[in-house]
Amino acid sequence: MILNHNKKNLRSLSNDESEHLEKLKTHILLNILPFSKIDESIVDQAAADLSSNNQILTNYYNWLKILQIDLDKGLSVEELKQAKASYYSSVYGDITN
């Protein structure tokens, strides 16, 4: 992504570019099963169609909105990471047991 936008590092990305990158990372994470061997092909496959109607991703963003309403605040970067991990665990928890 950095190379595509001729940027030196992630801090050089605009807000829109950073938001797009976060959505891409979330899309990839939520489309890889736990304990999968991670390599370039699995990441490419998970990222293949970001615009597809991905129910897990839609559910995640709906869940995140509800969480923020329940907490009555926006989440910090660290809280967003924890929320994403918690959601991933709730979606794929049965697979690991």
pLDDT at 51: 62
Q: Which residue has the tokens 């869940």?
A: 63
Q: Which of 95, 30, 85, 35 is nearest to 59 (CA)?
A: 30
4, two tokens:
């595509």
- The structural domain count of the chain equals 1
* Assigned domain for 82 exists: yes
pLDDT at 94: 76
pTM here? 0.77
Quote the domain boundaries for residue 78: 10-96
* Assigned domain for 39 exists: yes
* Assigned domain for 35 exists: yes
SS3 category, 8: coil
pLDDT at 50: 67
- Helices first, then strands: H and E counts in the chain: 4, 0
